[in-house]
Structure 1
Amino acid sequence: MGHGQAGFTKQMARNVFYGGSVFFALLFAAIVFHSEQRIPQRSNSAAITPQVVAGKKIWETRNCIGCHTLLGEGAYFAPELGNVYLRRGPDFIKAWMKIQPTHTPGRRQMPQFNLNEQQLDELVEFLKWTSQVNTEKWPPNIEG
């Protein structure tokens, strides 16, 4: 290097590091803020009723996620239920729950949870709400 060229100094490296760190920290904050603003619209939180909340409690206390997936999360033993309301409808869901286990040969058996009509309606309302969450078409396979 000649006397006229200073090269890349420690001060320049420090400025690039701090400048880049600040830039990407601000970019990250902007992306998080944007995502947070969209969550209420995408989650359909305005449609959460006491029935939906009660249905979620049934979902949790019966450990449905131990066999089923919900919006792609859970076990893969049984079908995806995030879109079951759209695929099958409320009457099918309630009838299916009532006839378990089916004792169909070669098929995994779902337990009989002995839910009453109110509990079935609440579970259906939870699955209806879940079907209205904007998941941007996730999961890609309709049956999970």
Structure 2
Amino acid sequence: MQRLPERDNRENLTPQVALGKKVWEDNNCLGCHTLLGEGAYFAPELGNVYVRYGNSKEAIKGFITSRPVDGIPGRRSMPQFNMSEEELDAIAEFLKYMSEIDTNDWPPNVQG
């Protein structure tokens, strides 16, 4: 707790990040994903997705919008949420914010 102010990224908490958290909650993203280890284990951990996607909010938005409604046979797939551009920008900003929290290297950045 003594190190929390140094590690929690609070200086980057903006209204857009807060909107992204609301979009995250409204779409029940934790129903499938984990975020910093909390949530369901059906889909990938997203605490480091911004880094995994090359520090690109556009790549995150592209992934969210490109998911097929019916999925890929034999593979889990995200549903299409039909988010507005404002919602996409906000969720990408929220995931960027989350990735910049100093979590002492958790989750590990494992490719594969």
**Structure 2, gaps ≥5 residues long:** none
- 4+ long deviations beyond 4 Å: none
Counterpart in 2 of 1:117? 85
Q: TM-score, normalised by structure 1?
A: 0.70
**Of residues 96, 107, 111 in structure 2, which corresponds to 1:139?**
107
Q: Does the CA-based 8 Å contact 2:52-2:109 persist in structure 1?
A: no
The residue type paired with residue 97 of structure 1 is I
Q: Does the CA-based 8 Å contact 1:68-1:78 persist in structure 2?
A: yes
Q: TM-score, normalised by structure 2?
A: 0.89
Shift of 1:107: 1.0
Counterpart in 2 of 1:106? 74
Distance 2:91 2:110 in 1: 20
Q: Does the CA-based 8 Å contact 1:69-1:79 persist in structure 2?
A: yes
Render the CA deviation track for 1:84-132: whole Å, top value 9, x for unaligned.
Answer: 0111121221111112226222111211111011110000000000000
2:24 maps to 1:59: yes
Q: Does the CA-based 8 Å contact 1:83-1:142 persist in structure 2?
A: no
From the CA coordinates, give the structure whose radius of gyration is larger. 1
Shift of 1:141: 5.3
Counterpart in 1 of 2:58? 91
Q: Equivalent pairs: percent with the same residue?
A: 57
Distance 1:132 1:62 in 2: 22
- Count of equivalent residues: 108
More helix per residue: 1 or 2?
1
Render the CA deviation track for 1:16-59: whole Å, top value 9, x for unaligned.
Answer: xxxxxxxxxxxxxxxxxxx2x32122111111000000000001
Distance 1:76 1:142 in 2: 16
Shift of 1:140: 2.9
Backbone CA RMSD of aligned residues? 1.4
- Relative to structure 1, the CA distance from residue 97 to residue 76 in structure 2 (aligned partners, 3 Å threshold; closer, same or farther) is same
Comparing both chains, which one has the higher relative contact order based on Cα–Cα distances under 8 Å and sequence gaps of 6 or more? 2
